[in-house]
């Protein structure tokens, strides 16, 4: 208490009667409890606001993804496709892999944002899979939509992939 209120606040404390000391300590406890409750409530409200914003962003991303697949054929049964894994090495082409994923998402009738991300994550391998798992572990629900994942993959691996291909031509 002395560190919070200062030494001057407790200068006459030993001279007070036991009831007065008890009353002061109880007032301080009440103040401390109300302060903790206030801070906890503010933190919970901030967490709720962040979750609402995240849900709204996910909804908007889902709407954007649904719009990108607007010209989808009407089929009763989804098509099963085999997609090669992308691991960021010389033999892989990120641009073609992304297009294959988009075709598979459309053919497989996968329109939910998290399901699209899960499907794409399941087709990653090697260092790209390690990269994605580190991102998801460090920040849970980091990758919220396929479009965001595609953007992150392009910014992280496209230049490295192209540079690796050019270097390997001269080795």
- The predicted pLDDT at position 160 comes to 58
- The predicted pLDDT at position 91 comes to 46
pTM here is 0.48
- The predicted pLDDT at position 14 comes to 79
Which residue ranges in the chain fall short of pLDDT 70?
A: 1-10, 61-76, 78, 90-92, 160-171
- The predicted pLDDT at position 74 comes to 60
Domain edges within the chain: 1-68, 76-170
Q: Three-class SS string for the chain? A: CHHHHCHHHHCCHHHCCHHHHHHHHHHHHHHHHHHHHHHHHHHHHHHHHHHHHHHHHHHHHHHHHHHHCCCCCCCCCCCCCCCCCECCCCCCCHHHHHHHHHHHHHHCCCCCHHHHHHHHHHCECHHHHHHHHHHHHHCCCCCCCHHHHHHHHHHHHHHHHHHHHHHHHHC
């Amino acid at each position: 208490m002395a560190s919070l209120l200062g030494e001057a606040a407790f200068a006459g404390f030993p001279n007070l009667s036991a009831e007065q000391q008890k009353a002061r300590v109880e007032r301080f406890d009440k103040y401390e409890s109300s302060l903790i409750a206030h801070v906890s409530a503010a933190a919970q409200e901030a967490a709720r606001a962040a979750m609402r914003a995240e849900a709204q962003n996910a909804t908007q991303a889902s709407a954007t993804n649904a719009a990108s697949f607007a010209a989808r054929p009407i089929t009763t049964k989804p098509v099963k496709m085999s997609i090669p894994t992308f691991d960021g090495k010389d033999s892989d082409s990120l641009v073609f892999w992304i297009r294959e994923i988009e075709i598979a998402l459309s053919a497989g009738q996968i329109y939910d944002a998290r399901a699209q991300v899960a499907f794409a994550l399941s087709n990653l391998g090697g260092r790209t899979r390690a990269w994605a798992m580190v991102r998801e572990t460090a920040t849970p629900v980091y990758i919220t939509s396929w479009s965001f994942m595609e953007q992150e993959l392009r910014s992280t691996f496209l230049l490295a992939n192209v540079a690796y291909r050019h270097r390997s031509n001269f080795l």
